[in-house]
Chain A
């Protein structure tokens, strides 16, 4: 249960901006939205939850953590079963049980794509008939439930909605993995573009009027051969209905864009120091900067203990290995005095060799990580490292343990 030896959170100011000694504590106290992004499998969800827990513990106010990851992981990390689409407060008892005293309220929600779409249709539909027809259209079922892009869109929609209701002082958002996270940023605009598409109008034309002109006729013939008439009709019906909500989407896309580039919003890129995730994280950091979005923090998870990198322990490990026979002989009487069963030189030799090998193995990985970190191009205000925890984080106290590493 003990955290790894180097369990000391280190923050460094970037070389380019030597005066900045930012902390996540400071960063989050000035923001209203924190979007955690980065590659998969690096502890993004847990990190987002930990940041939210820390904010609710030290800043007070109402803090919401919103997960948009299709996998239902936040419930695990927060020790809450079945967080639904609606925001729910993490009960004070849960904090007390973990020996914590919350200053504020911690809320959590997980995005249910289908339910959120339904709610969106109900809100935007101009009349009841349109609403019912959309909800009953076979394509709608698929668009809203099954396909990923709709998830990206609805995540931004939901974030916008929650933020504009103004119930929370801080919203921490967890996102799908990197490349998707870019989709996630673009999703509102893509949808708006889509509804204004000339092609959409083309496709809809023959079902509105029977007028098909010479230029577009081949297009329908091909489309018809590929998709079949009924399917085309379904598509057209769906989009004719959807067009009635076009203005709403267009406005929303612009508003979401403004919200993301607002000074109250910041991005927290989460990664490990493994080569592949780190490349992805760097790609994302670069992309954020290119879009003039605020890269507030980089959090590096699962970093191996620093003692693995020291030259002295490495020498000791080499000695243990090279001189295993001799050392085992010498240690045999020492261990025998503790327990007669332990005085087997062969066994001692094997243990010494295993221990040394294991150290040297992990050292290779630790050195590689350290090298990766040194080359980290992104230079945000806050860079936090989190040690490799030897137990899983699955409850509030675990989240606090992680949170403390990144907080100040």
Chain B
């Protein structure tokens, strides 16, 4: 799995890569560091994908699910915060609580806690029609608000249920953002602390068992190499460790910019960007190359700034947690084509 030797881009420079010609590095791919084998990620049964808003959580969740299904697994991808983005990433019609196969072996659903409760009552209490017991349908909203964690437990419960019943090889959850994921992952424990007896109690026991099993359940934190997302990812890793029993399986660093130059090439670039050579180049191409050179300068600076954040990320996350890198995509609009690209990159990172 660890196929990349050479310095990570996070050393903040091009120094360790003398001529910058290593193709992996030139695509912006640093070597994989981490003790755990990342291929094991696909052997998990339940993967939560979280991260700061805007870092590409849904992209990564969709791509991971797609990649796993391409490997022949039966996969369920579940969108929890109901933004309807998952369908868009597969260019499929909107998803609902009822799972639907949208690509071969790939099923998608949207979490709906009320529907989850109805399903639960039907399965567990053999109460087929909710309406018959009077206010129960309406009571849901009340109970969910009154008893904190009920919404969360119905979400986690449904996901764990799919795992327990072995309906799928892998369940991928497009989970809430890092500010809110802890509440969800910690819900069974919280309920367990509050409720000493009763049906809920027996329910949370098996949920906790699944969530705490590091061979079954994992969390992927998605991050971008920017200051705030890195801070939040480190904070998330700490909180997951302290407040939940779930394991942080990997950090996916999204939108890693490509390395443009090796050191010697950068010297060439610097020389090109001085007045004389630039004028010479302008004459040769019959147009002003300045904006093109400026754009390259911007790209180099952006990558440098980001490298320092990557370094902080590596230091702030336990060394046993692998970091997976996905390149910045210079694409027009997001859709199935992009999701396939990300899935392919993710597959490479996972060692396939």
B partners with A: yes
**A residues within 8 Å of B by Cβ?**
4-5, 39-42, 45, 69-73, 76, 138-139, 142-143, 146-150, 176-177, 179, 190, 194, 197, 199-200, 202-203, 215-216, 218-219, 222-231, 234-235, 239, 272, 275-277, 280, 305, 307-308, 310, 312-313, 315-317, 319-320, 323, 327, 330-331, 334-335, 338-339, 341-342, 344, 347-348, 350-352, 354-356, 358-359, 361-365, 368, 388, 390-392, 394
**Does B34 sit within 8 A of A, measured CB to CB?**
no
Query: Can you offer 20 A-B residue contacts whose CB atoms are under 8 A?
Result: A40-B52, A41-B54, A71-B52, A73-B231, A138-B193, A139-B147, A142-B194, A148-B183, A215-B134, A226-B199, A231-B198, A276-B54, A313-B292, A316-B289, A320-B292, A327-B285, A338-B276, A354-B260, A359-B295, A363-B295
- Docked CA distance A276–B125 (Å): 41
In the complex, are the beta carbons of B148 and A42 less than 8 A apart?
no
In the complex, are the beta carbons of A39 and B54 less than 8 A apart?
yes
- Docked CA distance A371–B332 (Å): 10
In the complex, are the beta carbons of A146 and B149 less than 8 A apart?
yes
| CB contacts between A and B, total, < 8 Å | 259
**Does B195 sit within 8 A of A, measured CB to CB?**
yes
Chain A interface mostly: helix
- Docked CA distance A142–B178 (Å): 18
- Docked CA distance A388–B297 (Å): 13
A76-B291 contact in complex given A200-B146, A275-B334, A351-B268, C-beta closer than 8 Å: no
- Docked CA distance A365–B142 (Å): 46
A227-B200 contact in complex given A200-B142, A275-B334, A335-B268, C-beta closer than 8 Å: yes
B contact residues around A361 at 8 Å (CB): 330
- Docked CA distance A320–B285 (Å): 7
- Docked CA distance A320–B229 (Å): 36
- Docked CA distance A392–B143 (Å): 44
A contact residues around B197 at 8 Å (CB): 228-230
B contact residues around A202 at 8 Å (CB): 135
In the complex, are the beta carbons of B148 and A143 less than 8 A apart?
yes
**B residues within 8 Å of A by Cβ?**
52-55, 58, 81, 83, 85, 121, 125, 127, 133-136, 138-139, 142-143, 145-149, 152, 177-180, 183, 186, 190, 193-201, 224, 226-229, 231-232, 235, 258, 260-261, 264-265, 267-269, 271-272, 274, 276-277, 280-281, 284-289, 291-296, 298-299, 301-302, 305, 330-334
B contact residues around A359 at 8 Å (CB): 291-292, 295-296
In the complex, are the beta carbons of A276 and B199 less than 8 A apart?
no
- Docked CA distance A194–B147 (Å): 12
B contact residues around A225 at 8 Å (CB): 125, 198-199
In the complex, are the beta carbons of A354 and B284 less than 8 A apart?
no
In the complex, are the beta carbons of B148 and A341 less than 8 A apart?
no
- The distance from the CB of B128 to the nearest CB of chain A, in whole angstroms, is 13
Cβ-defined partner of B83 (8 Å) among A179, A334, A351: A179
In the complex, are the beta carbons of B267 and A40 less than 8 A apart?
no
A contact residues around B83 at 8 Å (CB): 179, 280
In the complex, are the beta carbons of A339 and B271 less than 8 A apart?
yes
A330-B334 contact in complex given A41-B54, A219-B136, A358-B295, C-beta closer than 8 Å: no
In the complex, are the beta carbons of A334 and B277 less than 8 A apart?
yes
- Docked CA distance A225–B133 (Å): 14
In the complex, are the beta carbons of B143 and A42 less than 8 A apart?
no
- Docked CA distance A71–B179 (Å): 6
Cβ-defined partner of A338 (8 Å) among B143, B274, B286, B332: B274
Cβ-defined partner of A323 (8 Å) among B258, B285, B294: B285
Closest A-B pairs by Cβ, 3 of them: A40-B53, A41-B54, A228-B198
A308-B179 contact in complex given A197-B142, A230-B196, A335-B272, C-beta closer than 8 Å: no
- Docked CA distance A315–B289 (Å): 10
A71-B147 contact in complex given A355-B293, A368-B333, C-beta closer than 8 Å: no
In the complex, are the beta carbons of B198 and A142 less than 8 A apart?
no
In the complex, are the beta carbons of A339 and B133 less than 8 A apart?
no
- Docked CA distance A39–B193 (Å): 34
